[in-house]
Amino acid sequence: MKKDQVPQDNENLLDGKTRDVQYAIDKDGKYTTVLSLGWEPKNIVMKQAWNEINSHVEDAREEVIAGKKSPLFYFMKKNMMGVKLLSEYSGISRWKVRKHLKPKHFNNAKISILDKYAKALNLSSTDDLFRIGK
């Protein structure tokens, strides 16, 4: 594609703050890099992916409200983490993370454990672990 044909569909999800680097041919026939605001097919796919992620987060929120899962489950989904990744980020064993996905065990967790979860999930305090948003 020629340099002046690089798509500039400014409908990306980050409000034009991020650009993709594309390779294009300049007027001398040499490859060069060009910043692109986006490309419609890619933007559509990204929106669909984020809609799917947000749907999973909302499902997790509803499970927490229903008392089926602990708030930890919601924040894992919100941060796109699984048990293994949260375990690695927090330094808490996988079996303990799985255990804390149950409300009964999460509510009895030591403050030191909750602090590790809060840090791994990029929350400002352990209190935030008990506040699930809309």
State the pLDDT at residue 17. 64
* DSSP 8-state symbol, 102: S
Query: Which fold does the domain 42-130 belong to in CATH?
Result: 434 Repressor (Amino-terminal Domain) (1.10.260)
Task: Give the other-Cβ count within 10 Å of 73's Cβ.
Answer: 20
Alpha-carbon span 35 to 50, nearest angstrom: 23
State the pLDDT at residue 98. 98
State the pLDDT at residue 134. 58
Q: What angle do CA 108, 109, 114 make, to 5 degrees?
A: 140
State the pLDDT at residue 71. 96
Alpha-carbon span 33 to 36, nearest angstrom: 10
State the pLDDT at residue 36. 80
pLDDT more than 70, % of the chain: 92
Q: Where are the beta strands (DSSP E) in the chain?
A: 20-25, 31-36
Length of the chain: 134
Q: Where are the domains of the chain?
A: 3-38, 42-130
Q: pLDDT of 26-55, one tens digit each?
A: 888 889 888 887 777 877 888 899 899 999
Alpha-carbon span 112 to 126, nearest angstrom: 9
State the pLDDT at residue 15. 60
- In the chain, which stretches have pLDDT less than 50? none
State the pLDDT at residue 99. 98
Beta partners for residue 35, in sequence order? 21
